[in-house]
């Protein structure tokens, strides 16, 4: 077998392969032997007919096709190893010449690009500052005030914004009631936006016992296709009106919130300030990391193969599916709600997936350039943290991750590389 290797555009390595006559004849013999086991000729036991007769029955084309599979199975790995090819996706095999005497083919393998590192020390990336305002604390206190509000029945007056109206309703399209459009004694908080636009606004001003027809149009993107963009009429009757009575923002409210260590309003304000600060700090840190990500990618131009982008896109899709499942939504329902197909979602992810591939390649190159190593102690600390998070014994976690130690070390090395970049921001 002779091979000639060359690099092509778009991170593709091309290997021209020519098999010797002896190798090719041997593969054909193996193919004939395999195929003949299923051939039955009159006068002969199955698999025992003369090779010449079997060959005539099977046909040359079928034998050559099977022989190609045989020789590829035996030589494919060697072709990649001999030419130092580490494919990042499924290689493509093209047959250039196929006869009983000759087999020549081309292997096209997508490979990771060669990365020439740009500037990664002294990047000019600004990190935001954290400041908690009095208004932000007041907004959180108002949220608690709303949470502990009580509803009391209004004995007179009309429905106002913020009130809860207990209503019967039924929706009609072209005079016919539609499915899912009916409710009885339904508590509707006016201003909550829980009904389609225009409904709650038209309930405002109604009195107890009043009946009214509400005419409105469903949003064009409404999830039920037969109602989307359609004009309908809701027949509504108000049974009861309840108004919200807010508690005072004082020490009693602070106690009702039931947070450990919080006994007074001052304690609650201190607690809220710390919570807001922590959230803002996390947001600032996340944005800082994203800005570093963007700066590294922009400073190290490269072309990445479509196979790597496709793999990353699939990974991102699985992340979306996992996040949805935590909210009790499966991917099929999400597609119905958004009207997006899997292909649509992947297309939207493509640009971000490409950036993530580039970033990961850059970080790997920084690890090499800086000779970053991970100690056994660092691995043990990581496994101990995982065990603590899941409430497991460290020994059990080590056993579970035994086969993934290489990946754990690679992940830790990447973290150290990113930390190095952060510590060297200008």
How distant, in Å, are the alpha carbons of 102, 218, 370 from that of 418? 52, 49, 11
The pLDDT of residue 402 = 87
pLDDT band at residue 33 under the 50/70/90 scheme? confident
Q: What total number of domains does the chain contain? A: 3
Task: Let me know: does 172 contact 233? Beta carbons within 8 Å.
Answer: yes
| Token pair 């450990």: residue | 260
> What would the two tokens of residue 189 be?
């908080």
Half-sphere exposure of 211 (CA within 13 A, CB side): 4
Based on the fold, state whether residues 47 and 160 are members of the same structural domain.
Answer: no
CB 268 within 8 A of CB 142: no
Do 213 and 283 lie in a common domain? no
Asked if the structure places residue 121 within a domain, the reply is: no
> Which residues are CB-contacts of 323 (< 8 A; sequence separation ≥ 6)?
none
Please report, for the domain that includes residue 163, its CATH number: 3.10.50.40
Shared domain for 194 and 270, answered yes or no, is no
Task: Tell me if 198 is assigned to some domain.
Answer: yes
Query: Which of 197, 215, 245 is the endpoint of a domain?
Result: 245
Rounded average pLDDT over 114-134: 93
Statement to judge: residues 320 and 232 lie in one domain? no
Query: How far apart are the C-alpha atoms of 154 and 243, rounded to whole Å?
Result: 6
CA atoms within 13 A on the CB side of 145: 15
Give the pLDDT of residue 334.
85
**Assigned token pair, 71:** 């020789």
Q: What is the mean pLDDT of the chain?
A: 91
Q: What is the pLDDT of residues 246-279, one digit of tens each?
A: 999 999 999 999 999 999 999 999 999 999 999 9
With respect to residue 6, please indicate whether it lies within any of the assigned structural domains: yes
**CATH at residue 295:** 1.10.3120.10
Residues 62-74: what's their mean pLDDT? 92
Residue 155 and residue 228 in one domain? yes
Is residue 86 located within the same domain as residue 50? yes
Q: What is the pLDDT of residue 53?
A: 67
Q: Name the nearest CA neighbour of 366 among 406, 315, 309, 423.
A: 423
Instruction: Name which residue leads in pLDDT, 401 or 41.
Output: 401
Q: Mention every residue, 6+ apart, whose C-beta is less than 8 A from residue 333.
A: none
Please check whether residues 168 and 200 belong to one and the same domain.
yes
Whether residue 42 is predicted with pLDDT greater than 70 in this model: the reply is no
Question: What span, in angstroms and rounded, lies between the C-alpha atoms of 119 and 177?
Answer: 66
Amino acid 190: pLDDT: 94
Domain boundary among 217, 245, 273: 245
Q: Is there a single domain that holds both residue 222 and residue 304?
A: no
- Whether residue 324 is found in the same domain as residue 236: no
pLDDT at 232: 94
Q: Are residues 188 and 227 in the same domain?
A: yes
**Contact status, residue 424 vs residue 292, Cβ threshold 8 Å:** no
Chain centroid to Cα 417, Å, comes to 24
Select from 245, 275, 296 the last residue of a domain: 245
Closest C-alpha to 345, from 357, 332, 355, 356: 332
Q: List residues bridging with 97 in a β-sheet.
A: 104
- 256 domain-assigned: no
144 within a domain of the structure (yes/no): no
In a domain, 128, yes or no: no
Q: Tell whether 214 and 357 lie within a shared domain.
A: no
Give the angle 113-403-317 at the CA atoms, nearest 5°: 55
Q: Is the pLDDT of residue 39 over 70?
A: no
- Residue 149, CB-side half-sphere exposure with 13 Å CA sphere: 17
Is 239 in the same domain as 295?
no
Axis-axis angle for helices 306-326, 342-369 (nearest 10): 110
Q: Are 238 and 205 in contact (CB under 8 A)?
A: no
Instruction: Say what the pLDDT of residue 335 is.
Output: 85
pLDDT of 242 > 90? The answer is: yes
Domain of 329 in residue numbering reads as 265-423
Average pLDDT on 368-376 reads: 94
Phi then psi for residue 292, to 5 deg, are -65, -45
In the predicted model, is pLDDT for residue 221 greater than 90? no
The structure's pTM equals: 0.69
Q: Establish if 142 belongs to a structural domain.
A: no
CA 51, CA 30: separation in Å to the nearest integer?
12
Does the pLDDT value for residue 47 go beyond 70?
no
252 within domain boundaries = no
- Report the CATH number that the domain containing residue 23 is assigned in CATH: 3.30.70.1050
Say whether pLDDT at 140 is over 60: yes
Report the candidate in 254, 271, 167, 276 with the shortest Cα–Cα distance to residue 211. 167
């Amino acid at each position: 077998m002779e091979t000639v290797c060359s690099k092509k555009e778009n991170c593709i390595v091309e290997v021209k392969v020519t098999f010797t006559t002896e190798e090719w004849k041997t593969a054909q013999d193996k193919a004939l032997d395999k195929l003949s086991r299923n051939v039955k000729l009159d006068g002969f036991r199955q698999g025992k007919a003369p090779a010449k007769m079997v060959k005539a029955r099977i046909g040359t084309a079928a034998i050559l096709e099977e022989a190609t599979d045989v020789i590829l199975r035996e030589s494919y790995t060697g072709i990649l190893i001999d030419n130092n090819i580490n494919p990042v996706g499924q290689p493509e095999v093209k047959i250039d010449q196929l006869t009983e005497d000759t087999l020549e083919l081309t292997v096209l393998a997508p490979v990771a690009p060669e990365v020439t590192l740009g500037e990664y020390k002294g990047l000019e990336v600004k990190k935001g500052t954290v400041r908690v305002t009095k208004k932000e604390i007041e907004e959180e206190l108002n949220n608690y005030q709303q949470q502990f509000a009580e509803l009391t029945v209004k004995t007179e007056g009309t429905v106002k914004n913020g009130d809860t109206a207990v209503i019967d309703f039924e929706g009609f399209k072209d005079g016919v009631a539609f499915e899912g459009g009916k409710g009885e004694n339904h508590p509707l908080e006016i201003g909550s936006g829980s009904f389609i636009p225009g409904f709650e606004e038209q309930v405002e001003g109604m009195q107890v016992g009043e009946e009214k027809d509400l005419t409105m149009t469903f949003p064009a993107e409404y999830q039920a296709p037969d109602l989307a963009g359609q004009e309908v009429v809701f027949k509504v009757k108000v049974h009861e009106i309840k108004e919200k009575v807010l508690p005072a923002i004082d020490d009693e409210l602070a106690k009702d919130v039931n947070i450990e260590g919080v006994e007074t309003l001052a304690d609650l304000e201190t607690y809220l300030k710390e919570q807001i600060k922590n959230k803002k700090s996390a947001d600032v840190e996340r944005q800082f990391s994203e800005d570093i990500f963007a700066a590294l990618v922009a400073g190290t131009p490269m072309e990445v193969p479509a196979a790597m982008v496709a793999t990353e896109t699939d990974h991102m899709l699985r992340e979306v599916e996992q996040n949805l499942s935590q909210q009790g939504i499966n991917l099929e329902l999400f597609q119905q709600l958004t009207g997006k197909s899997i292909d649509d979602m992947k297309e939207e992810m493509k640009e971000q997936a490409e950036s993530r591939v580039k970033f990961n390649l850059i970080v790997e190159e920084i690890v090499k350039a800086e000779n970053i190593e991970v100690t056994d102690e660092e691995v043990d600390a990581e496994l101990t943290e995982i065990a603590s998070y899941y409430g497991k014994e460290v020994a059990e976690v080590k056993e579970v991750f035994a086969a993934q130690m290489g990946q754990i070390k690679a992940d830790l090395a990447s973290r150290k590389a990113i930390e190095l970049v952060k510590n060297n921001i200008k």
